[in-house]
Structure formats: C-alpha cells, structure tokens
C-alpha cells in the first residue's frame, strides 16, 4: 500500500527548475532514500512535501489526500514530520522540553487552562513528560533529559531532532541528511535506530542522505535526482550498478577535481 504519492512535481524558482516532473510512490513502512549530487533538488522536494514551498505544478498525496495548499503545521498534523539538514533545536531549552515542543500538537491544553493550572491540564502535562522521557530513552538520550540541547554532542543533537520528530507521532518521517557530520560509530547507531523505528513505531521513512554506505544498507527503494530530474529508481543493487547514476556522481567528482 502506498502511503505517499508524488505526482509530476515541478518547482521553478524564476528561470531555474529545481525539480522537474517528479513522480514517486512510497510504500507504507518502507525506508525510501532520495539521493543525488549537490543541487539535485532533494531539499526542495522535501520542502514541497512539508509545504515550505508550494509546487509550481503537480500533486502530493498522503493516504490519498492532497497536501498541496496546506500550511506547514497542517501537513504536520496530517502526519508528516521532518528533521533538517542543519540541525534546528532550541539550544537554550532542555532536551526534554525540545521533545515536549514536538508533542505539542497532540496536547489538548488551551492557554487559559494552562494559565489557571487546571488539574486536568497538569495531568496532561505530567503524562506528556512521561511519554517524552520514554522517547528520549528510546533514542538513547535518557542521561541528558535536563541538559540544554545546545550542550549535546553533534550526534546526540541529531538523535534529539529525531526524538522531537517522532514525538509528533508521524505516519511519515522525513530525515534530511540524518548522518551528516556523524562519525562511523554514531552512523551505525543511527542505522539501527532507523531500522527499529520503522517496525516499532509503525512509521514510513523517507531520507535524503549522502552517505552511500548507509543508503545502500538501509533502503528498500531509492530514487535518484540529478539537476532536478528523476534519473533512476530501484532497489539498492539496481541503483549501485545503474550507469546514469554512476555518471551523475562521477561527473560531480570530476567537476570538483577540475
């Protein structure tokens, strides 16, 4: 069953076509990677799914419902959350508060109730804290609950971003370069976490990633973009041996070496 469908998605910035006529399907509970050289259009693609950018044309369907025209917070309520290429945490807030912020959309508390410290609101807050702690334990950050997010090591900050994203109980989780800047040990831990989330949290994962070892190891299916075009799709073994993909990456390396 397809949870996410992208149909003929095009985004133009003035004269520049960042993605051109991209069509993709993402199966429920799969791990799907979107790869491609720098500037291929991957982040633009995520930004359209999360309603940061409005597509120039095309459609995005979550369980058959179009997301085009929604606001970013509405897309999140619909069940799509993401992490960012450049970590975006509230550095001056504690680790657990960062997770509680992710959970916020599921809490019923109205500001009047919060202000009056109503017992029902206090109970809801307590429950949310227990749940946030469980999530932090799940991603391996239980020892840093009251630490400021900005004090965490880089790999831990990336895991906190994931914790905050899963606190929103997404149907689809978009991870934008989750392994960027991680050492091999941290990447291994991340790989295990992504695998586990898919089964334990019943979530579908779409990731953008440059670490090819991780992509090949973790993905069920891979889409390859280059200069805004979808140039290949398939299982890891098919992508590894695809001539157009090899050329797109080799061309990039050759250009950088010029």
Ligand X SMILES: Nc1ncnc2c1ncn2[C@@H]1O[C@H](COP(=O)(O)OP(=O)(O)OP(=O)(O)O)[C@@H](O)[C@H]1O
Q: Distance (Å, rounded) from C-alpha 137 to C-alpha 130?
A: 11
- Residue 89: strand, helix, or coil: coil
Between residues 19 and 76, which has the closer beta carbon with respect to ligand X?
Answer: 19
Nearest CA to 221 out of 6, 24, 32 is that of: 32
Q: Mark 139-178 with x for binding to ligand X (rule: CB under 6 A) and - for no binding.
A: ----------------------------------------
Name which of residues 111 to 130 contact ligand X (CB under 6 A).
none
Name the pairing type of β-strands 31-35 and 221-226: parallel
The CB-of-53 to ligand X minimum distance in angstroms stands at: 7
Name which of residues 10 to 69 contact ligand X (CB under 6 A).
13, 16, 18, 36, 38-44
The structure tokens listed for 104 are 């916020």
Nearest CA to 28 out of 214, 227, 209, 220 is that of: 220
The CB-of-125 to ligand X minimum distance in angstroms stands at: 38
The CB-of-45 to ligand X minimum distance in angstroms stands at: 7
- Residue 233: strand, helix, or coil: strand
Between residues 49 and 136, which has the closer beta carbon with respect to ligand X?
Answer: 49
| Max CA pair span of the chain | 67
Between residues 12 and 63, which has the closer beta carbon with respect to ligand X?
Answer: 12
Nearest CA to 81 out of 20, 187, 142, 4 is that of: 4
Between residues 13 and 154, which has the closer beta carbon with respect to ligand X?
Answer: 13
Size of the site for ligand X (CB under 6 A): 12
Name which of residues 71 to 100 contact ligand X (CB under 6 A).
85
Q: Are 77 and 105 in contact (CB under 8 A)?
A: yes
Q: Using CB under 6 A, list all residues that contact ligand X.
A: 13, 16, 18, 36, 38-44, 85
């Amino acid at each position: 069953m397809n949870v996410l469908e992208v149909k003929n998605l095009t985004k133009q910035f003035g004269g520049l076509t960042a993605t051109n006529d991209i069509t993709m399907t993402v199966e429920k509970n799969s791990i799907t990677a979107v790869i491609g050289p720098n500037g291929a259009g991957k982040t633009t693609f995520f930004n359209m799914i999360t309603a940061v950018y409005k597509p120039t044309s095309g459609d995005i369907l979550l369980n058959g419902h179009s997301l085009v025209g929604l606001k970013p917070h509405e897309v999140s309520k619909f069940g799509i959350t993401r992490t960012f290429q450049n970590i975006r945490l509230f550095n001056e807030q504690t680790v657990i508060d960062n997770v509680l912020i992710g959970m916020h959309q599921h809490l019923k508390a109205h500001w009047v109730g919060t202000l009056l410290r109503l017992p029902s609101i206090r109970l809801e807050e307590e429950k949310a804290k227990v749940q946030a702690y469980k999530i932090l334990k799940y991603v391996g950050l239980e020892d840093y609950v009251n630490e400021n997010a900005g004090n965490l090591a880089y790999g831990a900050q990336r895991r906190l971003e994931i914790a905050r994203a899963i606190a929103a109980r997404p149907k689809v989780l978009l991870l934008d370069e989750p392994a960027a800047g991680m050492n091999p040990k941290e990447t291994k831990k991340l790989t295990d976490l992504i695998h586990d989330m898919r089964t334990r949290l019943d979530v579908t994962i779409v990731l953008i990633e440059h670490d090819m070892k991780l992509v090949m190891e973790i993905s069920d299916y891979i889409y390859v973009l280059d200069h805004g075009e979808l140039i290949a799709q398939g299982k890891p073994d098919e992508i590894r041996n695809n001539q157009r993909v090899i050329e797109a990456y080799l061309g990039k390396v050759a250009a950088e070496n010029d």
